[in-house]
Copies of this chain bind each other. A is one copy, B any other.
């Protein structure tokens, strides 16, 4: 089976390239009766949009979504929901000189190895432009999660180069903090630690001036997710979340909770101990853990504690400085990428990562509800 679908009960299928007519997503499994309009899709598309600030690519796309199906009189019908986002600023002439030369760090060579030929305009299907479809679908997932169980997904930048943010409580970070600085101006780097954010912006400006790019890391937090989501063996929710984040371009590492830090720890220091939590609305007790090194998941199933994930994102591979490479025939060549690229992928990565996390949580919520109600 080819790889353009994701999810089981909340399932997205996408199509589209960087320089074709547009990107489309079909979402299958959206429950009926959810209020939905393009206004629900626009905010996250705007957060992902190129040209949103001076530290991202200056390609100019409106990224205006059209709902093609699945909504009637303002509510979802339960049948498949399709969204189209047309490409407008395609300028494919920028890419003609890479037709026969492999850009380092890109999928040019691997697409040729796989398909025998490729759409060389801006990476075609391998371009991060395909994530517009994911972000639109993620907005639908977020709406569903919010209405169904009050869950909320927030992502933010925790590292750019060697600058690291200090985040005391991941579960307390708000969308407001991610999008707006305390002084009211836009938080263009999406780091909720204002001091770190300022230094990150400076670093990105500097690498851009030098014709270079810089990597970083993001943290994504899901709160309000009920205990019991996830499957016990292969479809552990941690496994599906990891796949979701690794399916995004440029991600080289994913961890949750204490993550790679667990390798140095002893069990006695690592285990999160259970405790009685606040009473549920119906008078019954809840169960919590004192700490959250387990990142909200045990045995691949949610515990009700916040889900906390981190992803490492490599520096943009496209560089305006010359790099050595080869042609399709393995002849030596030099390449300077002339397109409009992000000096750092992280600010625009945030809505993409949130979308994928929202889609996985929505999917497992639906799967769980089916099982739970069975008898």
Contact = CB atoms under 8 A, between A and B. Distances in A.
A246 to B, nearest CB: 4
B117 A299 contact: no
Interface residues of A, number: 163
B239 A246 contact: yes
Interface in A331-354: 331-332
A325 B80 contact: no
A268 interface: yes
Contacts of A374: 31, 144, 148, 365-366, 369
Given A13-B13, A272-B105, A4 B24 contact: no
Contacts of A61: none
Contacts of A259: 252-253, 312
Contacts of A179: none
Nearest to A314: B262
A318 B330 CA distance: 54
A285 B329 contact: yes
Interface stretch (A51-59, A170-178, A188-196, A206-214): A206-214
A110 B236 contact: no
A228 B329 CA distance: 16
A81 interface: yes
B372 A234 contact: no
A369 to B, nearest CB: 5
Most buried by B among A28, A79, A147, A244: A79
Given A246-B242, A256-B253, A326-B287, A371 B78 contact: yes
**Nearest 9 CB-CB pairings of A with B:** A107-B299, A370-B370, A3-B231, A3-B235, A253-B255, A31-B374, A213-B267, A110-B301, A15-B82
